Amino acid sequence: MTEGNEQEIKAIVFQLREEEYAVSVTQVRGIERVEHITRVPQTASFVKGVINLRGVITPIIDLKKRFSMEATEFTDSTRIIIVYIDGMEVGLIVDAAYDVIDIPHDAIEPPPEVIGTVDVDYVDGVAKLDSRLLMLLNLEKVLSNKEIKDFQSVEV
């Protein structure tokens, strides 16, 4: 574990429907339970709204909507992962979030051409751990403003 810094990355694993994803711990600020989310009208459909995160208004994104996956009801295991990118704090709604795991670099493979319905540009790679398959997310791409702007212009 101790010597693993170069060969392993620490990541937080979370679940969307049946699939497991991972984001680097360096980008994660915390994991929260779902509280009241205030809807913000006339924004992109995957923007669920804003929450009060200890006094800071934090936008919340529904990752399943973002990945065009089918929506499910919130359950007890539903969590919000607070990530920090480009000076912004954004919350991501996921079906469940697990502990931190170490992913050895050599277990990571480039993303396959097609993974289900998800467009591959925000998947950095796929890690195979035992029988699990983890998709490593590129959060910059997930949250890219450009794409949001495109979304908005499409909607308008």
Partner 1 sequence: MEMNEYLEVFIEESKEHIQSLNDNLLVLEKDPTNINTVNEIFRSAHTLKGMSATMGYQDTANLTHQMENVLDAVRNQKLVMNSEILDVVLEAVDYLEAMVMDIAGGGDGKRDVEGLVKQLEAIENGEAVAVNSDSKTNTSVSNNSSFDQLDQFEITVLQESEEKGYHNLEVNVKLQDACLLKAARVYMVFEILEQIGEVIKSQPSVPELEEEKFDLEFTVLLVTQESTENVEKRIMKVSEIDKVTIKPFNVEGGYSKNQSDQPQPEQDGQVNNDKVAAKEQTTNNQTTTKAAVNNKTIRVNIERLDGLMNLFEELVIDRGRLEQISDNLKHAELQETVERMTRISGDLQTIILNMRMVPIEQVFNRFPRMVRQLAKDLGKQINLEVIGADTELDRTVIDEIGDPLVHLIRNALDHGVESPDKRLEKGKPAEGNLQLKAYHSGNHVFIEISDDGAGINRDKVTNKAISNGVITNEQAEVLTDSQVFQLIMESGFSTADTISDVSGRGVGLDVVKNTIESLGGSITIESEAGKGSVFSIQLPLTLSIISVLLVEVEKEKYAVPLSSIIETAIVNKSEILSAHNKKVIDFRGKVVPLISLKQVFDVPSSSDEDEFYSIVIIRKGDKMAGLIVDTFIGQQEVVLKSLGDYLTDVFAISGATILGDGQVALIIDTNSLIK
Interface residues toward partner 1, by CB under 8 A: 35-36, 38-43, 47, 49-52, 55-59, 86-90, 143, 145
**Strands across the sheet with 47-53, in order?**
28-33, 79-85, 88-94, 56-62, 47-53
CB of 90 to partner 1, least distance (A): 6
Residues 6+ apart with CB under 8 A from 77: 95, 96
CB of 41 to partner 1, least distance (A): 4
CB of 42 to partner 1, least distance (A): 5
Q: Would you say 35 or 119 has its CB closer to partner 1? A: 35
Scanning the structure block, which residue is given the tokens 């990355």? 9
Decide: 37 and 45 in contact? Cβ < 8 Å.
no
Beta bridge partners of 23: 12
CB of 137 to partner 1, least distance (A): 17
CB of 149 to partner 1, least distance (A): 10
Q: Would you say 20 or 49 has its CB closer to partner 1? A: 49
How far is the C-alpha of 129 from the C-alpha of 114, rounded, in Å?
A: 20
Q: Would you say 87 or 154 has its CB closer to partner 1? A: 87
Decide: 133 and 126 in contact? Cβ < 8 Å.
yes
Q: Would you say 68 or 145 has its CB closer to partner 1? A: 145
Decide: 93 and 72 in contact? Cβ < 8 Å.
no
Q: Would you say 70 or 87 has its CB closer to partner 1? A: 87
- Residue 151 belongs to what H/E stretch? helix 145-155
